[in-house]
Structures are given as C-alpha cells and as structure tokens.
Amino acid sequence: MNRFYPSLFVAIFLLSCQLETPPFAQQEGIDKSRQTAITYAIEQISNSVVGINVTQLKQQQVNPFFDPFWGGFFPYTRTFKVDNMGSGVLVSPDGYIITNTHVVDNATEIVVTLRGGKSYEAQLVGMDNLTDIALVKVDDSDLPFADLGNSDELIVGEWAIALGNPLGLFDVNHQPTATAGIISGVKMDFGLKESGHVYQNMIQTDAAINPGNSGGPLVNALGEVIGINTFIMTGSNYSSGSIGIGFAIPINRVKEVAEDLKKFGKVERSYTTGVHVQAIDPVMQRYLRLPTSEGVIITDVEKRSSGERAGLQIGDVILAVDNRKINSPKDIIRVIDEGLHKVGDNVTLTILRESNSIDIQLTLEEPKSKWWGF
C-alpha cells in the first residue's frame, strides 16, 4: 500500500495549485469588479461632451449720481462684456452641439473644447428662449456624438449621470467631470419664469449639478442622453451650490426643438387665430346677461381665420384653454406659452355659448400680416 502514498501526495499538491488563485488573476478580478453601469455610461458618453466658454454682452442700469464718469442727471444703460461658461453635447458627426440658451445668449464669441483639448470657434445655429434650448455648430467631420434616449420611458430611481464643465473644470484636464445619482422625479412643472424660459415636464435628479453644468447631458446607465442639465435649487441666497436637487430638460422635447433650430434657426412661436377677446367686468356681465364673470368674451372673429374655421362666434365666452381657467387675455397667452405651443399646434378652448359648455379645437396659425388679438 505504501506505493500509493506518493501518488496521493501528488494529487493533493495539484489540487491545491488549482484552488490557489495566482496574484495576476486576483488583480484581474478586482479590475473587473470596478466596472459598473456608471463607469460604462461615462465611457460611452464622455467623448461627445464639450466645454463651452463664451463672451457675452450684458446691460446694466446705471444711476448717474454713483458714476463719477457721468455728468448727466438721468439713469442710463451701460453695455459691457463678461465671460461665461457652460457645457454641451455633440449630437451629430458634423459638429452640431446642443446646449442651453442661457449659456450662449448675447454671445459675441463661442469657444467649444472637446475632450483632449482641441478647441473650435463655434457658430450659433439658433436658440429658443421659451424652452432654453440652443444649437451651435463647429466646422469639422467624423466627430464623436451621443446616442439620444427616450425620456418618456424614465423610471424614478434608475441611475442618472450628469457630465459637463462645472466651475470651468473642463479646462483643467480637458475632460468632462461626472457625478452620479438617480432620477428623483419626472414631470416637474415650474411654469413661465422671469427669464422668459418655461420649465415644464422637467426631470429631477440628485446627481450634483453646479454652475457650468448647464447645457451638458444627463445620461442613463446605457450612456444614452435622457436630458439636458439646466438649473438647480440651492440655498436661499443662491450661494450654496448643489444641494442634490437639479433639473434637466427631457431629451424628447430637446429633439423636437433642435430639429426646428437646425432647419429654420428658430422655433416659430408668433401665431394668430383671428380671435379678439376682452375681459368681462361686472357692467358687461349685467348688460349682456352673462351667467358668469369668469373667462373672456369674444368680441370679433376675423374672416378666413382659424377662429372662424373652428366655429367660434362673437359673444362666446372662453372659460379655459387646455383645461386651465382663463380670466384675462393675458392668461390665454401665458397658458399657450407654458404649453410650449408653436405655429401649427392645436389648443382646446372650453367656451360657454347660450349656457352650454363646448370644447373647440383651435389651430395656431402663422401671421401673414399685422394682426391683433391672440
């Protein structure tokens, strides 16, 4: 039986060699474990993220009594240049870049820097102030560009990664910086802001967004762009930076706007319907024996207008537009603006006619000449 001992010893030795992991294999396993959905997404998108530096014209009201170089007595407007920064994302191999309007508005110079440090002087293709979306272009070909996702399919809680040029850090090593979080909320509505921007149906994320991130992409775990980072909520004095509440414009809206900007250089939002309205005051209500003082009354409908084709009549009372109550002519404009409507869109009017409530579809038409009403 002794002759079997050497064989058994050899078998045990070989088995122990198989169970023991070589150092290089251990390192390979650790390296693989560091690869996550987040690192994959960053790798997929990074080459298409750009830093943007602009020189903008700003205006400031000046009180002459506090300006030693002014000898007059009346306030005046002073125009001066300021440097600003932001982010963007390449969406085509021939150099089209999406960013925010507030990044490039009133710019006299736009400089775009790609990952790796190559810089271009970019041209403004167009911008839409209402949605805060702009399109710029650099003159080159075969550029890396991003895959655009579907923001209608977002799931609250899924990964969200924000990339861009926060605080100008893109210029330090010519690479976008990345922060990770989740989709915290969808369909967040903020209405019409003082800036003239309408932020509707926004994506909320806790991925850190800071000044300079504006215009950069928010991506999912597949590296697809699902939104354009736009603004944050911060401390009461707006000096606290990111507190984990940031917002991005959904990419499906961005696609629509960018298409119009590429074709026409703008989104046509100057419209007419040929419908003239007036607010209802108590005297008018009594005189016309109207059952309500709410809404606005139609005082005229122009011939061959969309209002006439829709069947609107003088004396109809408009109670609501797109299910939102109306009490003045300005309310109609505000609701249409906040709905991000453009020429060719339909809006739903809820009208009162002889005590009957009726819904009517009204088309916003391109004005062919000077017009009045809405």
pLDDT at 194: 79
Alpha carbon distance 314, 275 (integer Å): 9
The total of other beta-carbon atoms located within 10 Å of residue 32's CB is 8
Kindly state whether residue 97 falls inside one of the protein's structural domains.
yes
Q: Tokens 């969200």 — which residue?
A: 160
Kindly state whether residue 119 falls inside one of the protein's structural domains.
yes
Asked if residue 341 lies in contact with residue 270, where contact means CB atoms within 8 angstroms, the answer is: no
The one-letter amino acid code at 80 reads F
Mean pLDDT over the full length of the chain: 86
Kindly state whether residue 36 falls inside one of the protein's structural domains.
no
- 181 and 228: one domain? yes
Residue closest to 316 by CA, chosen among 297, 335, 301, 302: 297
Kindly state whether residue 221 falls inside one of the protein's structural domains.
yes
What CATH number does the domain containing 187 carry?
A: 2.40.10.10
Last residue within a domain, chosen from 137, 172, 191: 137
- 60 and 100: one domain? yes
Last residue within a domain, chosen from 74, 105, 137: 137
Alpha carbon distance 119, 110 (integer Å): 10
Distances (CA, A) of 142 to 59, 91, 93, 98: 39, 12, 5, 17
Whether 102 is a known active-site residue: answer yes
**Identified catalytic residue from 46, 48, 87, 102:** 102
Q: Tokens 């960053």 — which residue?
A: 42
- 97 and 161: one domain? no
**Dihedral sign for Cα atoms in the order 239, 243, 244, 250:** negative
**Identified catalytic residue from 87, 128, 132, 197:** 132
What CATH number does the domain containing 285 carry?
A: 2.30.42.10
pLDDT tens for 251-283 read 999 999 999 999 999 998 888 999 999 999 888
Alpha carbon distance 297, 290 (integer Å): 10
Asked if residue 206 lies in contact with residue 246, where contact means CB atoms within 8 angstroms, the answer is: yes
Domain encompassing residue 324 = 275-363
Kindly state whether residue 250 falls inside one of the protein's structural domains.
yes
- 228 and 163: one domain? yes
Lowest mean pLDDT among 28-42, 90-104, 180-194: 28-42
- 129 and 56: one domain? yes
Predicted confidence band at 238 (pLDDT cuts at 50, 70, 90)? very low
Predicted confidence band at 340 (pLDDT cuts at 50, 70, 90)? confident
**Within the chain, where are the H helices?**
4-19, 23-33, 37-45, 101-104, 170-173, 251-264, 282-288, 306-310, 329-338
Kindly state whether residue 34 falls inside one of the protein's structural domains.
no
Kindly state whether residue 11 falls inside one of the protein's structural domains.
no
Asked if residue 87 lies in contact with residue 213, where contact means CB atoms within 8 angstroms, the answer is: yes
**Identified catalytic residue from 46, 214, 242, 306:** 214
State the Cα angle at 10 between 6 and 11, rounded to 5°.
Answer: 115
Whole-prediction pTM: 0.77
The one-letter amino acid code at 66 reads F
Number of domains in the chain: 3
